[in-house]
Amino acid sequence: SKYFAYIQLQLTYPEIVRRDAEDWFDHLSRLEQHHTRGADGGLFYRVVYRLLNAADYGVPQRRERVFIVGFRCDLGLEWSFPDATHSLDAFLCDQWVSGEYWERHRISQRSRSEVPPRVAGRVVKLKANLFRPTGIAWLTVRDAISDLPDPEISLDSGKYLNHCFVPGARSYIGHTGSPLDEPAKTLKAGDHGVPGGENMLARPGGKVRYFTVRESARLQTFPDDYRFPVSWTESMRQLGNAVPVTLARAVAASIATRLETGM
C-alpha cells in the first residue's frame, strides 16, 4: 500500500522530515522524488522488511508480524532475516506420522485428537515421504503450559507468578479459543480494553477458559520470573501488543552478529 511505502521511505531518508501542515501524501511525494534522484550524500538507510511467523522461530503461537530493519548506508553491510528454525511439516510429522509428539506428552491413542481436515492432505503426502522434513517441529500450547497446574481446579496455581483463574470465558463465532495441541492463535490486545476472544484455551471437551497471565506470557516466550504487577485485563493488553521474546531475540541476534563481523 502507499502508506507502507511511505513508512519505508521515511525510514530510508530520515533527514527528509515532514513539514508543518504537510499531509503524509505530500510528504510521500517529496520522499519519492528524493528517492528517484538517487543519494546525494545525505544520511540514508538500506531498509528491508519481511512478514515473519513467530511459530517458525520456536514460539508456541501463530503470530505474523512485519519486521522492518535498516542499516546506515555508509556501513556498507549486506544482511537478510534469519532462516526459520521450526516448521509446520516437522510438526505434522511428529504428530501424525511418527507420533513422537503424543508419546512425549504421554497421551494415549484413545485421548489423541483427529487429524484436522485442513491439513489432512498434507499429512498424506508426509506419510508417503521417506525423509523427515527439515527443521524442528512447531511448539504447541501443550508444550508451553503442560507443567503448570490447571488454575481452575488446582490449589497450587497460586505458587506461580500471575497464574490465577479468571472466570467468564465463552466462545462465539470467530473466537473459539486455541486448541491444546496446536500453536496458539494470535494473542491480541482486544478492543476497548477487553482482551480478544483468542486469549482462551479450547479444552478437548469443547469448553473454554481464559489463559492466565502466566500462560499467555509463556505463549509469548517471556521468562517465568517476569512479573506483571497490573490487572489481568491490563496484563493481557500488554501481552497482546508484545513481540514474542524468542522471535525478537532471533532477529536482534542476527543484526548484532552482522554488525560485529562487518565493522
Q: What is the pLDDT of residues 40-98, one digit of tens each?
A: 678 999 999 999 999 999 999 999 999 999 999 999 999 999 999 999 999 999 999 99
Residues 114, 46 share a domain: no
Encode 145-180: b = buried (16+ Cβ within 10 Å), e = exposed: beebeebeeeeebeebbbbeebeebeeeeebebbbb
d(CA 69, CA 57): 18
Q: What is the pLDDT at residue 72?
A: 95
pLDDT-derived band at 1, boundaries 50, 70, 90: confident
| 77 assigned to some structural domain | yes
Mean of pLDDT values over 209-219: 96
Half-sphere exposure of 13 (CA within 13 A, CB side): 22
Which pLDDT does position 55 carry in this prediction? 99
Angle between helices 120-128 and 88-96 (to 10 degrees): 80
Give the chain's end-to-end CA distance (angstroms, integer): 35
| pLDDT given at position 193 | 52
| pTM, entire model | 0.91
Statement to judge: residues 26 and 90 lie in one domain: no
Q: Is the pLDDT of residue 130 over 90?
A: no
- As given in the structure block, the three cell numbers for residue 170 are 465463552
- The confidence score (pLDDT) of residue 39 equals 62
- Whether residue 222 lies inside any domain: the answer is no
In a domain, 236, yes or no: no
Task: Tell me which of 102, 118, 134 is where a domain ends.
Answer: 134
| Rounded average pLDDT over 112-117 | 90
Q: How far apart are CA 73 and CA 39, in angstroms?
A: 10
- Higher per-residue confidence, 176 vs 210: 210
Q: How many domains in the chain? A: 2
Mean pLDDT check: name the lowest of 33-37, 41-45, 137-141, 234-238: 41-45
Examine the domain organization and report whether 114 and 45 are in the same domain.
Answer: no
- Average pLDDT value for the chain: 92
Domain that holds residue 92: 86-134
Say what the pLDDT of residue 76 is.
92
Please check the confidence at residue 194 and state whether its pLDDT lies above 70: no
Closest CA to 236 of 245, 247, 244, 228: 228
My answer on whether 70 and 102 are in the same domain is no
Do 14 and 45 reside in the same domain of the chain?
yes
Q: What is the dihedral of CA 202, 144, 188, 225, to 10 degrees?
A: 130
Q: Which residue has the higher pLDDT, 263 or 225?
A: 225
pLDDT-derived band at 195, boundaries 50, 70, 90? low
- For 157-173, write each residue's pLDDT tens digit: 778 899 999 999 988 88
Give the model's pLDDT for residue 196: 60
Count how many residues are written for the chain: 263
**Residue 120: per-residue pLDDT:** 95
pLDDT at 201: 96
What span, in angstroms and rounded, lies between the C-alpha atoms of 147 and 104?
13
